[in-house]
Structure 1
Amino acid sequence: MKSGSKGQPEKDNAPQRPGVLKILQSILAGAFGVQSDKRRQEDFASGSPWPYIIAGVLFTAGFVIGLILIVNMVLASS
């Protein structure tokens, strides 16, 4: 354990891993175009982009599949 000044442990400067809720909020805010600059910078400082990429691809796939299902239901009922 490293010690800083006055014998107190130094804070680790490694980026924290974002939680699932934070990733979901960022993906939804980005999809609707209301992501704040502060949140965007936090996302980029969080380390690996992979959680955001995976969540974005899953969200996009779910959105497209949802639209296809809705269109098929509307066309089938008419």
Structure 2
Amino acid sequence: MIQAFKSAAAAFFGVQKSENHKQDFESDTPFPFLLAGVILAIGLVLLLVTIVQIVLA
């Protein structure tokens, strides 16, 4: 699961190594990567909402 979060975070920034990319696609199931991506996306949205609220307050 840790590797899935690392891969999803690297994908968000577009800096993932090609060897890690190949390793991710050889995984048995995509579920950990999907879960990590959704969690990181929700976290990003919540972070942006919080920053906007702080700036506008």
Give me the TM-score of the superposition, normalised by structure 1.
0.69
Question: Which position in structure 2 is the counterpart of 1:30?
Answer: 11
Task: Tell me which of the two structures has the higher relative contact order, counting C-alpha pairs closer than 8 angstroms and 6 or more residues apart.
Answer: 2
For the pair 1:68 / 2:49, whether they are aligned, the reply is yes
Aligned residues: 57
1:48 counterpart SS class: coil
Instruction: Give unmatched runs, 5+ long, in structure 1.
Output: 1-19
Percent identity at matched positions? 39
Give me the TM-score of the superposition, normalised by structure 2.
0.91
2:9 counterpart SS class: helix
Instruction: Give unmatched runs, 5+ long, in structure 2.
Output: none
Task: Could you list the structure 1 runs, at least 4 aligned residues long, displaced by more than 4 angstroms after superposition.
Answer: none
More helix by share: 2
**Bigger Rg over Cα:** 1
1:56 partner letter: G
